[in-house]
Chain A
């Protein structure tokens, strides 16, 4: 067994397989640098290994005390450390790529250093993915999560895994300039990215206005303030229009159902609660938690006028609601007796520009009389002056429904 030749074979293969490797990644320079300066140590290592195995064969060991063993291993460890230390001292330090950076403060108050020009983005939240599409910068989006399903094209992006447990190495392999995260991601993921020197920017809007501001801020960071202004001013216009229509309408008391078993609703400090207010309703649940578990007794006591479900949840399709209506507790709710259910797009669950479409849809269903003539539930939202990008979004969301 000629151990000494081990590294030599590896180097020998170098020239052959290098060409194939080069096709997949443009790392020619660093790879060629990697080849230089290998010859001296390969001999040294070979000698050490050969010497070690040869001497082991010669030595006859029967019973040796543990103390001896420990002493020997201590020597070995010390020698190894010395060797590594010496080699480290020889090694040159990595020259950092000079990339102009700037410091921004994200929505959780963290100071983040990101490159001046952001060309490669990984999004770890469906809402951010939607926002990037709305801003028209989808070409820079190089990776998103399994849950990023809107618009349709977002499904075709490279997937980095689920929201809670994405593959950090897949993210790293995409070389993002910045990773966008929200509070639905784990702090651990952010820390892991930090360790690797990948900056992450968090959005955390708690109101509909904050969603618009967040969209505008994102547009500025990405260097497309104009499309940000176009998107947000249009959304503002639609919201103002809605307010005028609903001004004379009574406020509907609603229960927003996030989950039925157990019954989860929304807290007052969420953007969903704010979205409901924009649609002329108010959530009966008054909790400071984000996703409070609600006692059905309390719901019966509060008697909401409407129950709001979202489409994403299989349990909340109409037959599911009918099954729910048979259950004790639910049965005695006025909203169930009068069949006052509202089902809206799951866009309401995502703090992205599309939430305004969901708000309009909800307003139509809660206050049909405000949208005469007709007051049909599936009437297209009043478009107003819509930017080209937003127009696409609305069309797609209407198609999705």
Chain B
């Protein structure tokens, strides 16, 4: 492993940040309503300066109020899923680990659904009620990862195959629970939930939630990053890492909680988007190696880029009708995953 220099880290993250920026600008430009590049540039500069009055209501509404929040939501979801995937893969020492495959996404979905079912029955102020869904998603995700971890543990060590099987089974059990909830409890539209389960970014976030989720993401991401060097050592095995002075139990709990939080954030805003959490870390590992101090931030950027591209496709391919973004990530992700698998890169 090459020694990490700030220059290398900044260079690599900076390059990805630049790509992300370019992708975001392109995503802002593309959509069902044509927007000129010039109009886009002017409105962006205006918005950056807070001069909302100067923005023409036509483009301004579409770019600043519709596309930008949605793209930022995609950035948040993509970065969260990729970070969660990277840290699960390191912690469980399993290349297949990912919030979707481990069933954590489904756990978060069940939690979020239960919260939204319970919400009307609880007499709580609206500002608290808005937080209920992300909170439910987090509890669901945390419970699921605990169960899957216990299922996958044998004689004090994680057994790779058992863990993945445990995750798949838990996931399929939870998706059955979701089907049950849909058919019995929901008097409300099934369509919405169906879209949400496929992964969909078309629902804008309530303004009160934006800050909550943004801060939650930053806290979880920074927390995971503090364990980056421990995760590097953990790659050689839990016992080995312990001998090298890693407080394995602490790292495990910290990473599980933080990664569950990230999964819950992503699921509560966008539903269950597959393949980003598993593919992006692998691609980034191919490019940047497996030093988690570099891998974690680059994977976050990669996840954001992947989702923004996928969502732009989802918005434009059959415009003005929109596809769920999860369908796009699955269509693009599954063949790419098979390719990586056959190359034995995974």
Stretch of A159-167, A235-243, A294-302, A315-323 on the interface side: A159-167
The listed residue (A90, A169, A183) touching B31 by CB distance below 8 A is: A169
Instruction: Judge whether A377 is part of the interface by a CB distance below 8 angstroms.
Output: no
Residues of A within 8 A of B46 (CB): 34
Residue B342 is within 8 A (CB to CB) of chain A in the complex: no
Tell me, yes or no, whether A63 is within 8 Å of chain B by CB: yes
Which one of B32-40, B101-109, B234-242, B276-284 contacts A? B32-40
Give B33's nearest chain A residue, CB to CB: A173
Asked if A54 is an interface residue, CB under 8 A from chain B, the answer is no
Complex CA gap A88/B47 in Å reads: 10
Is B22 positioned at the interface, with any CB of A under 8 Å from its CB?
no
User: With A17-B36, A21-B36 as given contacts, are A91 and B191 in contact (CB-CB < 8 Å)?
Assistant: no
Q: Is the CB of B202 within 8 A of A169?
A: no
A169-B315 Cα distance, complex, nearest whole Å: 10
User: Does B159 interact with chain A (Cβ within 8 Å)?
Assistant: no
B322 near A: Cβ within 8 Å?
Answer: yes
Q: CB-CB contacts of B158-202 with A at 8 A, as 1s and 0s? A: 000000000000000000000000000000110110011000101
A161-B319, A196-B61 in contact; A10/B42 too (CB < 8 A)? yes
Residues of the A chain whose Cβ atoms lie less than 8 Å from the Cβ of B195: 164-165, 186, 188
> Which of A24-32, A133-141, A340-348 lines the interface with chain B?
A24-32
CB contacts under 8 Å to B, within A162-220, are: 162, 164-170, 172-173, 175, 183, 185-189, 191-192, 195-196
- Could you say which of A27, A92, A161, A170 contacts B53, with CB atoms under 8 Å apart? A92
Q: Mark B193-234, 1 if CB is under 8 A from A, else 0.
A: 001100010111011000000000000000000000000000
A62 interfacial by beta-carbon distance below 8 Å: yes
A141 vs B294: C-alpha distance when bound (angstroms): 54
Q: A191-B203, A192-B204 are in contact. Are A88 and B50 (CB under 8 A)?
A: yes
Beyond A146-B321, A186-B192, whether A21 also contacts B39 by CB under 8 A is yes
CB closest residue in chain A, given B58: A25
Scan residues 27-73 of chain B and give those whose CB is less than 8 A from a CB of chain A.
31-33, 36, 38-39, 41-42, 45-46, 48-58, 61-62, 65-67
| B293 contacts across to A, CB distance below 8 A | 66
Give the docked Cα–Cα distance between A31 and B57 (Å): 9
A314 close to chain B: CB less than 8 A: no
A152 within 8 A of B: no
Q: How far is the CB of B60 from chain A (nearest CB, A)?
A: 8
Closest beta carbon of chain B to A347's beta carbon, Å: 23
Interface status of A37 (Cβ within 8 A of chain B): yes
- Tell me if B6 and A169 are in contact (CB < 8 A): no
Whether B38 contacts A17 by the Cβ 8 Å rule is yes
B321 near A168 (CB under 8 angstroms)?
no
The bracket for how many chain B residues form the interface is: 35 or more
Complex alpha-carbon distance, A159 and B196, angstroms: 24
A189 to B195 Cα, complex, angstroms: 12
From B6, B32, B38, contact of A13 by CB (8 A):
B38
- Is A327 at the interface (CB under 8 A from chain B)? no
Is B120 in the interface zone, CB < 8 Å from A? no
Q: Are B56 and A41 in contact (CB under 8 A)?
A: no
Establish whether residues B53 and A165, one from each chain, have CB atoms under 8 Å apart when the complex forms: no
How far, in whole Å, are A191 and B62 apart by their CA atoms in the complex?
16
With most chain B CB atoms within 10 A of its CB, the pick from A61, A63, A168, A189 is A168
Q: How far is the CA of A189 from the CA of B191 in the complex (A)?
A: 11
User: Is A39 interfacial (CB 8 A cutoff)?
Assistant: no
Check A62/B7 contact, CB under 8 A, given A41-B49, A166-B321: yes
- Assuming the contacts A87-B50, A91-B50, asked whether A31 and B5 have C-beta atoms less than 8 A apart, the reply is no
CB distance from A53 to the nearest CB of B (A): 12
A186:B191 contact, CB within 8 angstroms: yes
Residue A400 CB within 8 A of the other chain: no
Cα–Cα distance between A127 and B257 once the two chains are bound (Å)? 49
A272 to nearest B CB, angstroms?
A: 18
A30 touches B57 (CB 8 A): yes
* Also in contact, A160 and B320, with CB within 8 A (given A21-B36, A196-B61): yes
Which one of A21, A172, A173, A187 contacts B192 once the chains associate, using CB atoms below 8 Å?
A187
CA distance A167 to B200 in the complex (A): 13
A62–B5 touching, CB < 8 Å? yes
User: Could you tell me if A172 and B55 are in contact, using CB atoms closer than 8 angstroms?
Assistant: no
Query: What residues of B have a CB within 8 angstroms of the CB of A248 in the complex?
Result: none
Given known contacts A37-B51, A61-B7, A95-B53, is B321 in contact with A162 (CB within 8 Å)? yes
Bound state CA distance, A87 and B42, in angstroms? 16
Is A172 within 8 A of B62, CB to CB? yes
Answer yes or no: A1 CB below 8 A from chain B CBs: no
Q: In whole angstroms, how far apart are the Cα atoms of A36 and B39 in the complex?
A: 15
CB proximity to B under 8 Å, residues A70-108: 84, 87-88, 90-95
Decide yes or no whether A287 CB sits under 8 A from chain B: no
Whether A91 lies near B49 (C-beta < 8 A) is yes
B5 touches A63 (CB 8 A): yes
Bound complex: CA A31 to CA B42 (Å): 10
Picked from A93, A94, A161, the residue with its CB within 8 Å of the CB of B32 is A161
Asked whether B188 lies within 8 Å of A187 as measured between CB atoms, the reply is: yes
User: How far, in angstroms, from A92 to B53 measured CA to CA in the complex?
Assistant: 7
How far, in Å, is A122 (CB) from chain B's closest CB?
Answer: 11
**Contact B67–A27 (Cβ < 8 Å):** no
Chain A residue contacts of B191, Cβ below 8 A:
164, 186
B6 touches A63 (CB 8 A): yes
Please determine whether B9 and A10 come into contact, CB atoms closer than 8 angstroms: no
Q: Mark A116-150, 1 if CB is under 8 A from B, else 0.
A: 00000000000000000000000000000010000
A196 pairs with B65, CB closer than 8 A = yes
- A10–B45 touching, CB < 8 Å: yes
Contact status A87-B58, CB under 8 Å: no
Inter-chain contact A186/B33, CB cutoff 8 Å:
no
Task: Indicate if B3 sits at the interface (CB-CB under 8 A).
Answer: yes
**Chain B residue with the shortest CB-CB distance to A28:** B56
Given contacts A31-B56, A90-B50, contact A64 B5 (CB under 8 A): yes
Contact B52 A91 (CB under 8 A): yes
CB-based nearest B residue for A36: B54
Q: Does A46 contact B (CB under 8 A)?
A: no
User: Nearest 4 A-B pairs (CB), nearest first?
Assistant: A167-B320, A34-B54, A161-B320, A91-B50
A–B complex contacts, Cβ < 8 Å, 22 sampled: A17-B36, A21-B36, A30-B55, A31-B56, A34-B46, A63-B5, A64-B6, A68-B6, A91-B50, A92-B51, A160-B320, A164-B191, A167-B315, A169-B62, A172-B65, A173-B61, A187-B192, A191-B203, A192-B202, A192-B204, A195-B206, A196-B65
Supplied contacts A30-B53, A61-B6, A94-B52, 4 more A-B pairs, CB within 8 Å: A92-B51, A166-B320, A167-B322, A168-B66
The chain B residues found within 8 Å of chain A, CB to CB, are: 3-7, 9, 31-33, 36, 38-39, 41-42, 45-46, 48-58, 61-62, 65-67, 188-189, 191-192, 195-196, 200, 202-204, 206-207, 293, 315, 319-324
